[in-house]
Amino acid sequence: MKIPAVLIPLLFAATMLSSGEIKMDKYNMFDKNGLLHFNYKAQELAPREAAARIRLEEDLKKIVAIPKENRTFENTLLAYDEAFENYSRALGQAGFLAYVSDDDKLREAALELEQEISKYMVEVATRRDIYQAFKDYNDTNPQLGETEAKMLRDAMIGFRKSGLMLDDKKLEKFKELHKKMSENSINFSKNIREYKDHLAVSAEQLKGLPQDYIEKLKRDESGKYIITLDYPDYTPFMLNAEDEKARKELEFKFSRRGGPENIELLEENLYLRGQAAKLLGYKTHAESRLDTRMAKNPKNVMKFLTDLQKKLKPMARAEDKELLKLKLEKTGIKEKTLAAWESGYWNNMHKKLYYDVDQEKIKEYFQADIVIAGMFKIFGDLFGVEFEPVKIPVWHKDVKTYAIKDSGSEKTLAYIYMDLYPRDGKYKHAACFDLVDGKQNKDGGYQKPFTAIVANFNPPAGGRPSLLNHGEVETLFHEFGHVLHNVLTEAKYAAISGTAVARDFVEAPSQLLENWAWHPLVLKQISKHYKTGLPLDDATIAKMIAAKNHGSGNFYIRQDFLAQIDMKYHTQNRRQNTTREWAAAKLKITAVPMTKGTYPQASFDHIMGGYDAGYYGYLWAEVIAQDFFSEFEKHGIFDSQTGKKYRRAILAAGGSYDEEKLVEKFLGRKIDNAPFLKSIGLK
């Protein structure tokens, strides 16, 4: 998952950073060596922002004062970016630390400031004097290059969507709506991160779980084992625990994360988004989000999703029949449908029995350090770069850091952080945070990008290294795709650097890399049993590949459901009962009923944190990703010439050109969905 800037208001200008001279040295985000530092204190955040805001207002005042006839791309659009660059520098990485710091006071202070800044950003984005400055320049019909013209066009669209075509009264209402929505989104995410609950189970209830899983569990005062709601605890338990009652209880707790207050926050934001869209002249919030994306409008999205649903439904129902049959054989219980706490368990059991694939045993071969080293080697050779461990400042002792260098010039291009293990208060999913984006500096040099992978894999424990199941290997490759998109950028301007592309394209480079996690030669290279030192054997790899699409019908129809419910929520302008709508859509599309008393939407952080009316983008981008991969298959998945072509056409370009043009530049043709359908077992 690519973290959008909207999730990190403290990093509002993260796409506008450079190494230009600034006066507030004590608030610089870089240390004397040009590296990021993370030594922030809670009490200094507000003074940082106050000083930065004064500087920002001064810079904006200068831009507004330029006479119309003297306006240029440099003194208007780029100067605007530079103003926010200075603002962002002063704030540094405090916003990011709200998601990863183990300092409770710092996280809380960053969150409070995040809310204040988000409100201030609404004010700045809706200033008529700034809009008029851009409009005056745009009205001169400047003769610009393709990239610069795109930037100006996007800026003007942004102003329109900020409500600057509205009269004063409507603009004030629009601003208030957005301030409240921003506050709600921040609190929604906080409630998920800080939600506390667990399941206490006996040793008997752990039957089916591997010994290394059991050994790392903490115990309560009564001696029972504590199963938290974090993924390293939750997922293995739901896939392997034989005790159905315990699985049911854990799924119930998991599907109530965020609490009832998050239902209220979500439902209020859905209504407010609809009201804001209507003020701008759109019928729905979805329309307001999609007109600048590849899909263009909700009608195209729903056609894409319903067409895919029709193809997936027979596949998913056939899988359900197999699982229900297996449950009958093993328990004597005949059911018509599988409950939410059953599907994962019986799917995993079916895979073990009929494909002889035991993920817990396979996990013993995937040591995190070995997987990362193999991943670096494979994609380094493919894209012409090298990864070297370096000692640079970090925010936690478990964070590992690397410099990425160009293989030809040996020039350091960027820095990567890997924060892979769970802890209290940390972001609960796997994601890529781009901390500093690349851009061309005024002195002709290039700003080095800084990017972080944040995940929640199993930490080393009991003398064992960190072991990843194969799904987590895929996740790691996925996030590394975002990393490469960020660090291999050559975009001239940070506003269009790296992953600054349309939301329904941004996941394509990340989903592309997942394909390598399934190739036999790659699996050999990244696997090494933590006891024997042997790689995965050919027979096991063959079984894994044979089982690759096992359950894919249900997996993709669930993704289709999430995309459809997101679109349903955002194509209505009335007050909604999101729990009732979720339950109805889930049953209709997936045939799996929602557990009574739960509210999974309260932890669906995507649609409050930037993927609103955009969750379909995962499926949309995967179609593109599989088409990209068909080119690598054609020429060889280790072919460096194809890799370099992809690096130039897609990774280096960032958002310099329209996404359709980027795709056609690499493929030499328009998108074909046949490779995607083939990849999931559909013809």
Q: What SS3 class is residue 407? A: coil
Strands 446-447 and 439-440: antiparallel
Residues of the chain with pLDDT under 50: 2-26
Question: For 258, phi and psi rounded to 5 degrees?
Answer: 95, -30
Nearest alpha-carbon partner for 364 in 297, 286, 458, 264: 458
Structure tokens at 25: 């040295």
pLDDT of residue 6: 30
Using CA atoms, how far apart are residues 582 and 561, in angstroms rounded to an integer? 9
Structure tokens at 674: 């046949």
Using CA atoms, how far apart are residues 287 and 157, in angstroms rounded to an integer? 14
Which domains, from first to last, does the chain contain?
A: 5-125+127-161 (1.20.1050.40), 198-254 (no CATH), 368-546+617-679 (1.10.1370.40)
Nearest alpha-carbon partner for 608 in 586, 587, 578, 583: 578
pLDDT of residue 27: 54
Using CA atoms, how far apart are residues 674 and 661, in angstroms rounded to an integer? 20
pLDDT of residue 23: 32
Question: Would you give the DSSP letter of residue 406?
Answer: E
**HSE, side-chain direction, 13 A CA sphere, residue 105:** 6
Question: For 325, phi and psi rounded to 5 degrees?
Answer: -65, -40
pLDDT of residue 2: 45
Which residues are within 8 A (CB) of 515 and not within 5 positions of it... i.e. 6 or more apart? Answer: 625, 626, 629, 632, 637, 679
**Helix or strand run (H / E) with residue 439:** strand 439-440
Question: Would you give the DSSP letter of residue 601?
Answer: G
Identify residue 645 by its one-letter amino acid code: K
Which residues are within 8 A (CB) of 669 and not within 5 positions of it... i.e. 6 or more apart? Answer: none
Number of residues in the chain: 683
Nearest alpha-carbon partner for 254 in 609, 607, 604, 618: 604
Nearest alpha-carbon partner for 121 in 173, 200, 182: 182
Contact 514, 474 (CB under 8 A): yes
For tokens 């995937």, the residue is 366
Strands 439-440 and 431-436: unpaired
Structure tokens at 509: 């480079």
For tokens 């996925």, the residue is 478
Structure tokens at 98: 């709200």
Using CA atoms, how far apart are residues 134 and 138, in angstroms rounded to an integer? 6
Beta-sheet strands, E only, within 508-561: none
Beta-sheet strands, E only, within 194-337: 198-201, 225-228
Q: Label residues 550-579 b or e (16+ Cβ within 10 Å = b).
A: bbbbbbbbbbbbbbbbbbbbbbebeebebb
- Counting DSSP H helices and E strands in the chain, the numbers are 26, 9
Identify residue 643 by its one-letter amino acid code: G
pLDDT of residue 3: 40
Cβ atoms within 10 Å, residue 648: 14
**HSE, side-chain direction, 13 A CA sphere, residue 194:** 16
Contact 202, 225 (CB under 8 A): yes
Catalytic residues: 479
pLDDT of residue 111: 86
For tokens 């669906």, the residue is 604
Question: For 213, phi and psi rounded to 5 degrees?
Answer: -65, -45
